[in-house]
């Protein structure tokens, strides 16, 4: 059966996450329903990563198998037609080898977490940022983030529901960027790794926000990491500020 790689963008607010669920809307469910309108029968879609409820993506990658040999552009156009009005879009589509796998072939995943720092409620950016009511010290946050780079036991920043076999991960990037926007000053956290634990990025974002407020000194991030204890973590940041921005492979399926 012909296999296709899909690059997918979605707004996570209406969904209970990526993974298909029997009683709640999901991104996977929306895509599989759209595929069923193109070819009858059951369709399985596998993704590079399972985002949680309310988390967005502009660079999620998934795979699907089709009975018909579709021209990739026509397949993406047909899927986008049937995905409406759900806030999901296929932004690229490519034919790939039958043994290509969106999840197991990925060598890097990238996320960005956005924090809008202003007293007024977020209106135009609502649902896409975590709004905090005052300025954050981006320099202190960057100092704290530096302690997380490299290979560590990330038990402190791991959800109790995480199903990963090991808490040891290698964080290749944990960058703090301060950006002046029309809406106000944004703190953007850019994280990059081969793979992440459940809630790892949101746990890091919530912890670094404590540093930005001055409630934690930057060194406490290192102490929390070394504790390897979930109780040592800061608050978990809300899902709406998180976006999966990209996935990399040894060979880019989209050219």
Tell me, what DSSP letter sits at residue 231?
G
Residue 192 lies in a domain: yes
Contacts 24+ apart (CB under 8 A), 24-30: 25/86, 27/51, 27/57, 27/60, 27/88, 28/62, 30/83, 30/86, 30/88
Same domain, residue pair 79 and 147: no
* Number of domains present in the structure of the chain: 2
90, 112: one domain: no
What is residue 155's DSSP assignment?
G
In a domain, 149, yes or no: yes
Query: Do 216 and 112 have their domain in common?
Result: yes
Q: 241 and 116 in one domain?
A: yes
pTM of the model: 0.96
Judge if 62 and 123 occupy the same domain: no
Please confirm, yes or no, whether 86 is among the known catalytic residues: no
> Of the candidates 104, 127, 153, which is a domain's last residue?
104
Domain end among 51, 82, 104: 104
Task: Please indicate, yes or no, whether residues 231 and 117 belong to a single structural domain of this protein.
Answer: yes
If asked whether residues 50 and 98 sit together in one domain, one would say yes
Q: Same domain, yes or no, for 172 and 223?
A: yes
User: Cα(208)–Cα(92) distance, rounded to whole angstroms?
Assistant: 34
251 inside domain: no
Query: What is the C-alpha to C-alpha distance for residues 226 and 248, in angstroms, rounded to an integer?
Result: 30
Q: What is the domain-level CATH number for residue 183?
A: 3.30.70.660
**Cα–Cα distance measured from residue 176 to residue 227, given in angstroms and rounded to the nearest whole number:** 23
Tell me which of 104, 137, 172 is where a domain ends.
104
Active-site residue identified among 23, 52, 69, 172: 52
Within a domain: 253: no
Q: Does 116 lie in the same domain as 95?
A: no
Q: Looking at residue 68, what DSSP letter applies?
A: S
Q: What is the pLDDT along the chain (255 residues), one digit of tens a residue?
A: 899 999 999 999 999 999 998 899 999 999 999 999 999 988 989 999 999 999 999 999 999 999 999 999 999 999 999 999 999 999 999 999 999 999 999 999 999 999 999 999 999 999 999 999 999 999 999 999 999 999 999 999 999 888 899 999 999 999 999 999 999 999 999 999 999 999 999 999 999 999 999 999 999 999 999 999 999 999 999 999 999 999 999 999 999
Structural domain that includes position 75: 3-104
Q: What is the domain-level CATH number for residue 63?
A: 3.30.70.580
């Amino acid at each position: 059966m012909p296999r296709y790689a899909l690059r997918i963008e979605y707004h996570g607010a209406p969904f209970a996450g990526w993974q298909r669920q029997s009683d709640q809307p999901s991104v996977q469910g929306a895509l599989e329903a759209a595929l069923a309108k193109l070819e009858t029968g059951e369709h399985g879609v596998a993704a590079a990563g399972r985002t949680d409820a309310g988390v967005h993506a502009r660079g999620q990658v998934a795979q699907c198998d089709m009975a018909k040999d579709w021209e990739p552009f026509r397949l993406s156009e047909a899927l986008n037609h049937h995905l409406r009005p759900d806030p999901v879009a296929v932004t690229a589509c490519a034919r790939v080898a039958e043994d290509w796998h969106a999840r197991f072939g990925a060598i890097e995943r990238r996320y960005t977490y956005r924090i809008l720092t202003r007293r007024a409620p977020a209106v135009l950016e609502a649902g896409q940022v975590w709004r905090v009511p005052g300025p954050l010290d981006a320099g202190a946050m960057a100092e704290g983030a530096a302690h997380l780079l490299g290979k560590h036991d990330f038990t402190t920043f791991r959800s109790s529901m995480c199903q990963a076999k090991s808490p040891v991960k290698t964080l290749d990037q944990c960058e703090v960027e301060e950006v002046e926007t029309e809406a106000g000053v944004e703190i953007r956290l850019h994280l990059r790794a081969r793979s992440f634990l459940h809630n790892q990025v949101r746990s890091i974002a919530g912890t670094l926000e404590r540093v930005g407020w001055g409630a934690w000194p930057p060194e406490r991030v290192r102490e929390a990491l070394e504790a390897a204890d979930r109780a040592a973590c800061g608050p978990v940041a809300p899902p709406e500020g998180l976006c999966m921005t990209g996935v990399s492979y040894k060979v880019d399926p989209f050219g």
